[in-house]
A and B are shown apart, each in its own frame.
Chain A
Amino acid sequence: MSNHLYNKTGILSRFLLRQDRIRIPVWLLSLFVFTFLIAESFTSLYPAEQDRQALAETMLNPAMTAMVGPGYGLENYTFGAMMAHQMLLFTAVTVGIMNILLLARHTRAAEEDGRIEMVRSLPVGRLSNLLAAIAVLFGTNVLLALGIGFGLYVLGIDSMSLNGSLLYGAALGAIGFFFTGVTALFAQLSESSRGAIGLSFTVLGVSYLIRAIGDVSNETLSWFSPLGWILGAEVYVNNYWQPVFITAAASIVLVAFALYLHSIRDTGLGFLPSKPGRTFASPFLQSPFGLAFRLLRTAIISWAVGMVLIGVSYGSVFGDLESFFNEIDVMEDLIGPVTGVSLTEQFAAKLMSVISMISTIPALMVILKLKSEEKKARTEHVLARAVSRTRLLASYLFIALFVGFVMISMAAGSLGLTAVTVMDDGLSFGTFYSAAIVYLPAIWVMTGIAVLLVGFAPNASGLTWLYLGYSFIVVYLGGLFQFKDWVGNLSPFAHIPQLPVEEMDLMKVSILTIITIVLLAAGFIGYNRRDIHG
């Protein structure tokens, strides 16, 4: 009957599973581990009821509401309520991202690369590939829902009932499938996978924003966001199942519509018109620097926006910070009190180490972009013309240094501004900004290492990420794990004076800068000597 539409969907599903045999388990396992660890950590962080109630007080802050969702069950802030209130939204966003990336990969991206054409030339139904991809993700989301649901229950934490835990999992599964539907739809509308992914992320972002605005000002508005729906389930407090069913039903409508559009469209084309681009290159584009900047533009802007969001959200908690710290002893353990310095100042200093490490990510991405350009055989186009290797690498280096500075300035600036506004009489803007900007030499060292690796061992350049991850663990979590000093000292971030808690140390900062110069010089020498592969 409908053989021409669905033929061989089963085989294709298995084929997709085989392609994702690492990717999907890694996503699921990370989500499981992350969720269970957080749930466990709540029990050790806030063992006494008054700790939890003190935390509940700080949750009344509108900035927190905007970030994590409306507070419910705050009058009796159990572990379950805490978990659902603080974690469900973030996890849901992560699950949304997972679904968007996984589905786009097997639909529009495969079509763009011409793989679908080959599959379609076989005796395979017109809808089979899309259907197979949706089926695989449906299975993934069901597994996620059951795994999280039963897992949370098995942890045996007080107030986390079986019903509530299953609802928690189901809410995640439902929102995941919703974004499978959204992506499936945009994969039909847009001609490129970048377009499909971008539009889907936009829906995710707008859902988050609508919900944030709605939760703070007008609850009806939140019901226009799928993320608002699943928060409406009030997991572990009232356990409403209806919102999850609504989300699932909406997903099915989206999927059905996507399948319909897929059945009537030409392979390779989309419904959204692709507008013609520029006939001529702008003068800015016509240099190695301009080209590099153009290639990185979208990423840089997105990161800058993200850094501002991080800054604002951290900054907004400073208002309630002092009272919060006074009531919770655990935080003192985490930070470790120093006489003569307020906990707020210590928290600011600690926070800046994290923000500086986050700011390092886009700077490293810039340098590593040069490597990925080489892998895609595009560096050759540039080097085959009158462009020296030094000039090419310097273009990327310059952008990386610029990006590092801009990102940390964006985050620290917005954090400082927000914090100064919400605090009655606290630290000055300058204190916040200088506490962050002092980390620039550490960012430079990381950039230098990336340049060195790209220069000498491009295939090993991914190690830079490992080193950054190591730095994060030893510097940020070092206090908790009680590492030996040398373990922490292996990271450049550990050598930065923690303003305003510590004194400025020009010596250390200068040494880091000199190390950077040595790394960069070596990297440039290596890049000038080696083969460019493609």
Chain B
Amino acid sequence: MTVLSTRHLTKTFGKFTALDEVNIEVNKGEVYGFIGPNGAGKSTTIRILLGVLKATAGEAKIFGMDAWKNAVEIHKRIAYVPGDVNLWPNLTGGEVIDLFVKLRGSHHKSRREELIEKFDFDPTKKCRTYSKGNRQKVALIAAFSSDADLYILDEPTSGLDPLMERVFQESVVDLKREGKSVLLSSHILSEVEKLCDRVGIIRQGQMIETGTLKELRHLTRTNLLVETKQPIVSLRDLNGVHDVKETEKQYSFQVDSEELDGVIKHISQYGIVKLESAPPALEDLFMRHYESGDGGAS
């Protein structure tokens, strides 16, 4: 069942096209990773989904309702964490958490206390004294203590320390176990790799890749580290071999996934002493997309 979907979503600010026909689909019980460089349009997409910005063209739907027209109805069932959390300097963190939870509608007192404990957060201080990470905790605690169906998280961990990041990841895993849906926009690829079922990559306002991690990995390369008895002849000339680095008798290189079979057959002739293979990191995929001019997966 589709919880969130955008179809040909377009947003222009004057002459600047921020989003160009963006299609996203998040299914029930799924954690969707939304990644892309700064200024690619992640936050703009999210803010349209929240009904804060109005789409120029295309449609944005959550729970089958229009994100702009039915904003209030939708918001009763979603929880949102912005990337840049600006709070009221003269209210305390505790007050803001209560306010946020109450504005959504539902109550979850015990959850709130548990999360404050887990995130090691002091709710009695005024917001002006909080660091970026602590302000983010306010938004996270408010979101996770809400009983929502969809969680929209916009780079929620950019200010958290590694320990708190783990608490965050556990909380997302808990949500997943409960069958909740999550739209997670992030820069931390290890986080996306750990948490997300499906990933969408956006660049310059266009979706350039969508799919499960497995599907995306198929398009990418495997890292190999090989040591052989005899030097490998003409490794560089093989189909699908990239970035060869040679040190003594060791070779490290990347292989296109579909060419892996042929490459292994070739190098096995030289007597393999050691073979290490690393799965393709999302980062490699990510980097290739970010750097390449046309954005296609080559």
Contact surface of A with B, Cβ cutoff 8 Å:
112, 191-192, 194, 274, 276-282, 285-288, 291, 294-295, 376-378, 380-388, 529-532, 534
Alpha-carbon distance between A378 and B52 when the two chains are bound, in angstroms: 12
Asked if B98 contacts A286 (CB within 8 A), the reply is yes
In the bound complex, residues from chain A placing their C-beta under 8 Å from that of B87 are: 378, 381
Asked if B95 is at the interface of the complex by the 8 Å CB criterion, the answer is: yes
Closest to B139 in A: A381
Closest to B78 in A: A384
Asked if B47 contacts A380 (CB within 8 A), the reply is yes
In the bound complex, residues from chain A placing their C-beta under 8 Å from that of B52 are: 380, 383-384, 531-532, 534
Asked if A385 contacts B53 (CB within 8 A), the reply is no
Alpha-carbon distance between A17 and B73 when the two chains are bound, in angstroms: 52
Dominant secondary structure of chain A at its interface with chain B: loop
- What are 10 inter-chain pairs, A to B, with CB distance below 8 A? A191-B129, A277-B124, A279-B124, A280-B98, A285-B99, A382-B103, A384-B50, A386-B76, A388-B71, A388-B72
Alpha-carbon distance between A382 and B142 when the two chains are bound, in angstroms: 12
Alpha-carbon distance between A384 and B43 when the two chains are bound, in angstroms: 13
Asked if A278 contacts B75 (CB within 8 A), the reply is no
Other than the given A285-B91, A285-B95, 11 more pairs (CB < 8 A) read A277-B95, A278-B92, A279-B94, A281-B97, A377-B86, A380-B50, A384-B50, A384-B75, A385-B80, A386-B72, A534-B52
Query: What is the 8 Å Cβ interface bit string for chain B, positions 60-95, against chain A (1 contact, 0 not)?
Result: 000000000001110110001010101111111011
In the bound complex, residues from chain A placing their C-beta under 8 Å from that of B50 are: 380, 383-384
In the bound complex, residues from chain B placing their C-beta under 8 Å from that of A276 are: 92, 124-125
Q: A-B pairs with the 3 shortest C-beta distances?
A: A281-B98, A277-B92, A286-B102
A279-B92, A279-B124 given as contacts; is B54 within 8 A of A286 (CB)?
no
Alpha-carbon distance between A191 and B94 when the two chains are bound, in angstroms: 20
Alpha-carbon distance between A386 and B103 when the two chains are bound, in angstroms: 6
A277-B95, A378-B86, A388-B71 given as contacts; is B123 within 8 A of A288 (CB)?
no
Alpha-carbon distance between A374 and B297 when the two chains are bound, in angstroms: 39
In the bound complex, residues from chain A placing their C-beta under 8 Å from that of B90 are: 194, 295
- Kindly provide the distance from the CB of B100 to the nearest chain A CB, expressed in whole angstroms: 7
Alpha-carbon distance between A385 and B96 when the two chains are bound, in angstroms: 13
- A-B pairs with beta carbons under 8 A, tally: 107
Interface residue tally on B, bucketed by range: 35 or more
Alpha-carbon distance between A294 and B88 when the two chains are bound, in angstroms: 10
Asked if B58 is at the interface of the complex by the 8 Å CB criterion, the answer is: no
Alpha-carbon distance between A20 and B51 when the two chains are bound, in angstroms: 39
A280-B94, A387-B75 given as contacts; is B54 within 8 A of A529 (CB)?
yes
Asked if A112 contacts B128 (CB within 8 A), the reply is yes
In the bound complex, residues from chain B placing their C-beta under 8 Å from that of A279 are: 92, 94, 123-124
Asked if B126 contacts A295 (CB within 8 A), the reply is no
Asked if B111 is at the interface of the complex by the 8 Å CB criterion, the answer is: no
Alpha-carbon distance between A377 and B94 when the two chains are bound, in angstroms: 20
- Kindly provide the distance from the CB of A187 to the nearest chain B CB, expressed in whole angstroms: 15
Alpha-carbon distance between A388 and B105 when the two chains are bound, in angstroms: 13
Asked if A386 contacts B104 (CB within 8 A), the reply is yes
- Kindly provide the distance from the CB of B91 to the nearest chain A CB, expressed in whole angstroms: 7
- Cβ 8 A contact of A383, one of B54, B71, B99, B129: B71
Asked if A274 contacts B129 (CB within 8 A), the reply is yes
- Kindly provide the distance from the CB of B251 to the nearest chain A CB, expressed in whole angstroms: 46
Alpha-carbon distance between A378 and B99 when the two chains are bound, in angstroms: 13
Alpha-carbon distance between A226 and B84 when the two chains are bound, in angstroms: 45
Closest to B80 in A: A384
Closest to A191 in B: B129
Alpha-carbon distance between A382 and B80 when the two chains are bound, in angstroms: 11
Asked if B82 contacts A380 (CB within 8 A), the reply is yes
Asked if B100 contacts A385 (CB within 8 A), the reply is yes
- Kindly provide the distance from the CB of A106 to the nearest chain B CB, expressed in whole angstroms: 18
Asked if B94 contacts A278 (CB within 8 A), the reply is yes
Asked if B103 contacts A288 (CB within 8 A), the reply is yes
- Cβ 8 A contact of B54, one of A191, A278, A530: A530
Asked if A381 contacts B100 (CB within 8 A), the reply is yes
A277-B92, A278-B95, A294-B91 given as contacts; is B126 within 8 A of A385 (CB)?
no
A278-B92, A386-B75 given as contacts; is B86 within 8 A of A376 (CB)?
yes
> Which residues of B140-172 are within 8 A (CB) of A?
none
> Which residues of B102-140 are within 8 A (CB) of A?
102-105, 123-126, 128-129
In the bound complex, residues from chain A placing their C-beta under 8 Å from that of B98 are: 280-281, 285-286
In the bound complex, residues from chain A placing their C-beta under 8 Å from that of B104 are: 385-386
In the bound complex, residues from chain A placing their C-beta under 8 Å from that of B129 are: 191, 274
- Kindly provide the distance from the CB of A390 to the nearest chain B CB, expressed in whole angstroms: 9
Alpha-carbon distance between A234 and B85 when the two chains are bound, in angstroms: 55
Closest to B13 in A: A531
In the bound complex, residues from chain B placing their C-beta under 8 Å from that of A387 are: 72, 75, 103
Tell which of B51, B91, B92, B103 has the most Cβ of chain A within 10 Å. Answer: B103
- Kindly provide the distance from the CB of A38 to the nearest chain B CB, expressed in whole angstroms: 38
In the bound complex, residues from chain A placing their C-beta under 8 Å from that of B73 are: 386
Alpha-carbon distance between A282 and B99 when the two chains are bound, in angstroms: 9
Asked if B102 contacts A281 (CB within 8 A), the reply is yes
In the bound complex, residues from chain A placing their C-beta under 8 Å from that of B76 are: 386
Closest to B103 in A: A385
Closest to B105 in A: A386
Asked if B103 contacts A378 (CB within 8 A), the reply is no
Alpha-carbon distance between A192 and B95 when the two chains are bound, in angstroms: 19
Asked if B71 contacts A281 (CB within 8 A), the reply is no
Alpha-carbon distance between A530 and B124 when the two chains are bound, in angstroms: 36
Alpha-carbon distance between A128 and B224 when the two chains are bound, in angstroms: 57
Closest to B116 in A: A279
Alpha-carbon distance between A388 and B71 when the two chains are bound, in angstroms: 7
A277-B94, A277-B124, A377-B84 given as contacts; is B54 within 8 A of A287 (CB)?
no
> Which residues of B199-231 are within 8 A (CB) of A?
none
Closest to B106 in A: A386
Asked if A383 contacts B92 (CB within 8 A), the reply is no
- Kindly provide the distance from the CB of A526 to the nearest chain B CB, expressed in whole angstroms: 12
In the bound complex, residues from chain B placing their C-beta under 8 Å from that of A385 are: 75, 80, 100, 103-104
Alpha-carbon distance between A279 and B71 when the two chains are bound, in angstroms: 30
Asked if A291 contacts B47 (CB within 8 A), the reply is no
In the bound complex, residues from chain A placing their C-beta under 8 Å from that of B124 are: 276-279
Asked if B94 contacts A383 (CB within 8 A), the reply is no
- Kindly provide the distance from the CB of A108 to the nearest chain B CB, expressed in whole angstroms: 11
A285-B95, A380-B52, A386-B103 given as contacts; is B125 within 8 A of A277 (CB)?
yes
> Which residues of B12-64 are within 8 A (CB) of A?
47, 50-54
